[in-house]
Amino acid sequence: MIHDLKSKKILVTGGAGFVGSFVVEKLLEGGVAREDIFIPRSADLDLRKWGNCQRAVKGQDIVIHLAANVGGIGYNQYKPGELFYDNLSMGIHLMEAARQTGVEKFVSIGSICSYPKFAPVPFKEENLWKGYPEETNAAYGLAKLMALVQSQAYRQQYGFHAIHLLMVNLYGPRDKFNLASGHVIPSLIRKIYQAKRAGKNFIEAWGTGKATREFLYVEDAAEGIVLATEYYDKPDPVNLGSGMEISIQDLVVTIARLMDFHGEIRWDTAKPDGQPRRRLDVSRAEKEFGFRPETTLEEGLKRTIQWWGTEGRKIYGQ
């Protein structure tokens, strides 16, 4: 089933957030009318509550569920209960409300954190169930994975058109540059900025630097989500990523170089590395709906650093 999005009413949860704001822009560029995109705000509709989910999906043709409680390793360590409850309850309630209301298609956004800690690299979708996730983000990863179970069960019993996309680590402008809860790239950019401003000749980074990660630029991710919304309609989950892999040590060195920071990098090995390696097999996304990311890591980092320098630091009072 191919969905002509220009003729649809589309609910984008989290549409004012990091990824969601870019998804909305892609929808508008594709010809969807602004008045046909509904972006609920958490202050008005707490999607952990059943009644609010019913109100959110009323009159909608398509739901793209991007709202999430999410953060970096430290945030996952400190708030696993909140992360499990918030993400699980939002997903379960929203999908059930969408099914009951007769929504045509539901796009569920999962996470690379759902993969087993020692999954074979590159991660293939069929390996999702071959082990327990890495402990520091297991609560979040499993809560997101339940949306896949729900979507497959609803498709089997009700013929409900739900798909599940497994998102790799994202970065880019409008990300959360909060040192306590942010992901690795925005946290490093802010740390280096603050070190330079304070005249410090070092920064501290978590772990050993040996762990590897894959990163996808947020605009590419938004493009992939919209393509899947239009063209993908199967029960199998799909990885969305860049297919690249870089060690955290090399990432820190690259960001430092791009920000012209020449100080020492001190590794706090008392802090966790998280999952040892992360790299996705992204062939299914290209085969099924033609997704191929265009932004290199270097170019994406330059754009993210530029945004922090012109917009982000003002938002964060820097």
Please answer whether residues 212 and 279 qualify as being in contact, where contact means their C-beta atoms are separated by less than 8 angstroms: yes
Catalytic residue among 140, 154, 171, 232: 140
- What are the DSSP calls for the chain, one per residue? ----GGGS-EEEETTTSHHHHHHHHHHHHTT--GGGEE---TTT--TTSHHHHHHHHTT-SEEEE-------HHHHHH-HHHHHHHHHHHHHHHHHHHHHHT-SEEEEEEEGGGSBTTPPSSBPGGGTTSSPBPGGGHHHHHHHHHHHHHHHHHHHHH---EEEEEE-EEE-TT----TTT--HHHHHHHHHHHHHHHT-SEEEEES-S--EE-EEEHHHHHHHHHHHHHH---SS-EEES----EEHHHHHHHHHHHTT--SEEEEETTS---SS---B--HHHHHHH-------HHHHHHHHHHHIIIIIHHHTT-
Give the count of beta carbons closer than 10 Å to the beta carbon of residue 55. 15
Q: Is 140 considered catalytic here? A: yes
Hey, which residues are catalytic here? Answer: 140
